[in-house]
Each structure stands twice: as structure tokens, then as C-alpha cells.
């Protein structure tokens, strides 16, 4: 098929998906496009790269300074998010009270700028990551946050996954690259295979979760259409994984799916989730000590015992002379002489520790690592409480949190504008709803004519009971008054 025809069919398909989504009249506002645009850009390529790809020559900037075009874009998105939150009258005080450890983490990162080797570079990077919670709050303060989250994941997937397949198959100069080892690898709409693996992890998990929820609905045309949508995008994820060779993302996705299914079993008592987590951790440690479980996992993923040189890199990074308590400063380890030394020692030019926890230690020290762990524990506690009160959304948060934690063991996703880092904020933030009313009645896949008639009948019954109760109370008050008068007489 010619590339131009493939492009036309792909974008027609995307237009059809968006048209279908909008015609369902979801209970969301136009501000939902802010997190969608944010995720599409950080999940694919910076604005400056897109402009250069399409012939608009802009300065790419240096590794440390970045592109001015990109900086303007990120600042504009943060400013727009701030404006939306202010219009919604979101209370900063309530946000800080509900997310204390996240607030401490951001304050500590800001303080860590002062002992950075390049304070101005660190400050600009801190401004960029400030966009994660700001944009996530726009999403979570929608009239119906759960509906908004679903539409957010769907609409991002409508763009990122089909275009990734289009680039890989018909535009290899954009969708494929040769790695440092001379191997051809797929990157799709992103800049490297690990970033594409993140997209497959996030959207593969979402559509699997959405598939399980949709299967529980009554049979209808809307249910059938949603099942076809989920199946189609899961097939896209499987196709991308087949040529991706990203074992970390695949293993994280499989673990998240397993946890999602187990949490839905009847024999699982929701009140003892903490005990299950503890018992599972002990079982994994025992299996590793007894049978060498890690070796089997590495063999399944096609990895060598050094995790493709990661363990050697970790040892080298730990030998650097840094302040163990406070690190080198916010996002400043991979700059200056340290970066030059590492690039001279490794021909593949590493730019991250390939371990999110080690990356945090190098930049923020043991203090920063402790605060990050506190943020993770707080997120787990919020997700567990949500699991007790709102089963589907709670198990979504718990399972996705497990996937993110596992992924960061061999990749550094707790870093700058990583898409998985932004997704973490969506499940970590706890915020009051904005002062919004319903935009318009939301289309529900379970709503049929019979359902609406039943809901109307129930509403009328409740009104009748309320009226009857008020009449009975008035009669009771009259009787009590008469009785009191009779006793006094």
C-alpha cells in the first residue's frame, strides 16, 4: 500500500474514533484537551522535533539547555492549567493537605536546586516537572473525574498507537532507528523503543481494565462496540510489542494484568490487601532465594544476567563521589564532567541510570529517596482506601502503581517529562472536585430506555417516600402536643 494512502486511512480512522467519542456526549469539558495534548507531546516527541520533521527549521538547543520552542510550549501549558484551576476555584490549601508527601517532594526538589552544579538548568527542569501535577489536576477536577480519566486514555490512544504503527510500517525514517549496537529497532511515534514500551504498557493496561469492566455490562449495541474498541487496541499493543523487544514494559504489563484479575476474584478480601502485598513480597523473596526466580524471568525476557550492561553501570554510578544524603542537586547528575566521563567510558552514551530509584539517589540523595518512597507509600494507602470505597477505580490505581514500581527497577521513569511519571501523578494525586456542575448528561453504555424508565420510577418513589415521611412526622408532632396538653390538664 502506498504511504500516502496508508496515511489517509489512518487519519480517517482517527477522525472516526474522535467523532464517535464526542457524539457519545461524555460529561467532560473542553479543558480535557490540556492533559491530552500534554500526554501526546511528552509521550511522543518534543514540539521542536515535530516542527523540524515537517520542514520548519527551529533550534533544537543543547542537551542541558533544551529548545526555546519546547520551553515556551511547556510554560504555556502550565499557565493555561493554572488559569483553568483558578477558574474552577480549586483550593491550594486543600491540595496540599490531601497530598502532603508530594508537596514535600516538590519543595525538596526546589531546595536541591541550590546545591546543583548548574542551578539555572535545574530550575528550568523543575518548572517543567511542575507541569505534571498542574495538568493532572485539570484532569482530576473535571465534573466526573472517572469519566474524564477514561476519555483521556482513550483519546491519547487514538493518536499515539495508530500513528506509531503507521510510522513503523510506512515511514521507517521516522518510526525505526538503528541502536548503538547496530540493530534495527522500532520507536513508532516516540524517539526510542523504551518510550514506545511505556505507551504500550499504559494503554495495554487501560484497555484490558476497560475490557473487564465492559464485559460486566448488559448486552447491547454500545457494549458490543466498546468490546470491539478494546479488542482492536489490544491487538495494536500486541503488534507493537512483537517488534519492540522491550522486556521491562512487557513484564510490567503482565504483572499489572495479573494483579487486576486477582483483585477481582471473590476469594480476595478487600480489607486484607496490605496482608496480601506483604505475603506476596515474602513469597517472591523466598522463591528467589530457593529457586533463583530472577534467572528464569531474565531468560523469559531474553536478557543476560547483567540486564544488558545495567548492573555494571549501576556499580560505576555508585562509585562516583557525591553527597550521599543530598545528592548532586535536582536533575544535575547527568551534566558537566560526570556526563563526559560516562560517555568516554561507554560508547553507547548513557543519559540515565536505568533504575528510577538509583536515579533519584544520584540527584537527591538518601533524603530524596526516602521522600520518594514516602510518596509511593502514601499513593498505595490512597489507592487501597479507594479500592474499599470504589472497587473498579481502586483496583485500577493499585495495579497500575505496581506496574510503575516494577518498571522503574530497570528503567528510570521517575524523571523529567517521562510519560509514565505523568501517569503516576494521575493515580497519586488526591484532590477535591472543582466547583463545576455537569456539562451535559453523560452517555452511559448501560443506559437503555428501560434503565431510564426504571431510574425515573425510583426517583418518583423516593419523592413519594420523602413526602409521606414528612406528613407522618407532622402528624406525630401533633399527637405528641395533644398528649402533653392532656397530661397537664
Residues 360 and 465 in one domain: no
Residues 210 and 273 in one domain: yes
Mean predicted confidence (pLDDT) in 146-171: 96
- pLDDT interval class at 135 (50, 70, 90): very high
Domain around 462: 452-489
Residues 248 and 153 in one domain: yes
Residues 482 and 394 in one domain: no
The answer to whether residue 35 sits within a structural domain is yes
The answer to whether residue 439 sits within a structural domain is no
Mean predicted confidence (pLDDT) in 327-337: 93
The answer to whether residue 447 sits within a structural domain is no
Q: Contact, 467 vs 460, CB < 8 A? A: no
The answer to whether residue 433 sits within a structural domain is no
Q: What is the mean pLDDT of the chain?
A: 86
- Residue 473 in this model has a pLDDT that exceeds 60: no
Residues 472 and 398 in one domain: no
- Residue 213 in this model has a pLDDT that exceeds 60: yes
Q: Check residue 208 and give its pLDDT.
A: 97
- pLDDT interval class at 378 (50, 70, 90): very high
- Residue 182 in this model has a pLDDT that exceeds 70: no
Residues 287 and 406 in one domain: yes
The answer to whether residue 161 sits within a structural domain is yes
Instruction: Give percent above pLDDT 90 in the chain.
Output: 64
Q: Check residue 249 and give its pLDDT.
A: 94
Q: What is the pLDDT of residues 225-235, one digit of tens each?
A: 999 999 999 99
Residues 331 and 470 in one domain: no
The answer to whether residue 138 sits within a structural domain is yes
Residues 424 and 471 in one domain: no
The answer to whether residue 444 sits within a structural domain is no
Residues 286 and 343 in one domain: yes
Q: Check residue 246 and give its pLDDT.
A: 87
Q: Check residue 433 and give its pLDDT.
A: 56
Q: What is the pLDDT of residues 396-436, one digit of tens each?
A: 999 999 999 999 999 999 988 999 999 999 999 998 654 55
The Cα–Cα gap between 426 and 137 comes to 8
Residues 201 and 62 in one domain: yes
Domain count, the chain: 2
Mean predicted confidence (pLDDT) in 12-41: 95
Question: Which of these three, 396, 428, 460, is where a domain ends?
Answer: 428
Residues 456 and 405 in one domain: no
Residues 340 and 465 in one domain: no
Q: Check residue 474 and give its pLDDT.
A: 46
The answer to whether residue 438 sits within a structural domain is no
The Cα–Cα gap between 59 and 54 comes to 14
Amino acid at each position: 500500500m502506498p504511504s500516502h494512502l496508508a496515511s489517509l486511512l489512518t487519519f480517517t480512522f482517527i477522525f472516526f474514533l474522535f467523532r464517535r467519542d464526542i457524539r457519545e456526549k461524555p460529561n467532560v469539558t473542553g479543558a480535557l484537551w490540556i492533559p491530552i495534548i500534554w500526554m501526546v507531546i511528552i509521550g511522543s516527541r518534543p514540539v521542536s522535533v515535530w516542527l523540524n520533521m515537517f520542514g520548519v527549521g527551529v533550534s533544537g538547543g543543547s542537551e542541558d539547555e533544551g529548545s526555546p520552542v519546547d520551553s515556551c510550549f511547556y510554560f504555556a501549558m502550565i499557565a493555561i492549567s493554572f488559569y483553568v484551576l483558578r477558574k474552577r476555584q480549586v483550593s491550594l490549601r486543600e491540595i496540599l493537605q490531601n497530598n502532603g508527601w508530594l508537596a514535600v517532594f516538590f519543595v525538596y526538589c526546589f531546595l536541591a536546586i541550590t546545591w546543583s552544579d548548574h542551578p539555572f538548568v535545574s530550575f528550568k527542569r523543575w518548572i517543567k516537572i511542575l507541569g505534571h501535577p498542574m495538568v493532572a489536576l485539570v484532569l482530576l477536577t473535571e465534573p466526573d473525574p472517572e469519566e474524564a480519566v477514561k476519555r483521556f486514555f482513550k483519546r491519547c490512544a487514538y493518536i499515539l498507537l495508530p500513528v506509531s504503527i503507521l510510522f513503523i510500517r510506512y515511514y521507517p525514517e521516522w518510526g525505526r532507528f538503528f541502536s548503538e549496537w547496530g540493530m534495527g529497532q522500532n520507536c513508532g511515534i516516540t524517539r526510542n523503543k523504551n518510550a514506545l514500551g511505556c505507551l504500550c504498557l499504559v494503554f495495554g493496561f487501560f484497555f484490558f481494565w476497560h475490557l473487564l469492566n465492559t464485559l460486566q455490562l448488559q448486552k447491547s449495541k454500545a457494549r458490543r462496540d466498546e468490546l470491539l474498541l478494546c479488542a482492536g487496541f489490544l491487538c495494536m499493543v500486541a503488534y507493537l510489542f512483537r517488534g519492540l523487544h522491550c522486556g521491562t514494559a512487557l513484564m510490567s504489563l503482565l504483572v499489572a494484568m495479573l494483579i487486576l484479575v486477582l483483585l477481582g476474584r471473590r476469594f480476595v478480601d478487600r480489607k486484607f490487601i496490605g496482608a496480601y502485598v506483604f505475603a506476596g513480597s515474602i513469597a517472591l523473596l523466598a522463591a528467589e532465594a530457593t529457586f533463583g526466580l530472577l534467572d528464569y524471568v531474565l531468560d523469559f525476557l531474553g536478557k543476560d544476567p547483567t540486564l544488558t550492561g545495567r548492573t555494571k553501570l549501576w556499580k560505576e554510578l555508585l562509585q562516583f563521589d557525591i553527597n550521599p544524603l543530598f545528592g548532586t542537586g535536582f536533575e544535575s547528575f547527568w551534566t558537566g564532567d560526570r556526563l563526559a566521563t560516562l560517555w568516554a567510558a561507554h560508547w553507547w552514551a548513557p543519559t540515565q541510570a536505568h533504575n528510577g530509584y538509583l536515579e533519584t539517589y544520584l540527584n537527591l540523595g538518601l533524603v530524596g529517596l526516602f521522600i520518594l518512597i514516602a510518596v509511593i507509600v502514601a499513593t498505595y494507602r490512597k489507592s487501597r482506601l479507594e479500592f474499599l470505597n470504589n472497587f473498579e477505580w481502586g483496583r485500577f490505581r493499585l495495579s497500575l502503581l505496581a506496574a510503575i514500581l516494577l518498571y522503574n527497577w530497570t528503567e528510570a521513569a521517575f524523571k523529567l517529562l517521562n510519560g509514565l511519571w505523568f501517569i503516576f501523578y494521575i493515580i497519586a494525586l488526591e484532590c477535591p472536585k472543582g466547583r463545576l456542575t455537569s456539562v451535559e448528561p453523560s452517555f452511559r453504555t448501560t443506559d437503555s430506555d428501560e434503565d431510564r424508565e426504571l431510574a425515573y420510577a425510583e426517583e418518583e418513589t423516593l419523592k413519594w417516600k420523602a413526602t409521606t415521611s414528612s406528613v407522618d412526622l407532622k402528624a406525630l408532632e401533633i399527637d405528641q402536643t395533644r398528649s402533653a396538653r392532656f397530661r397537664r390538664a
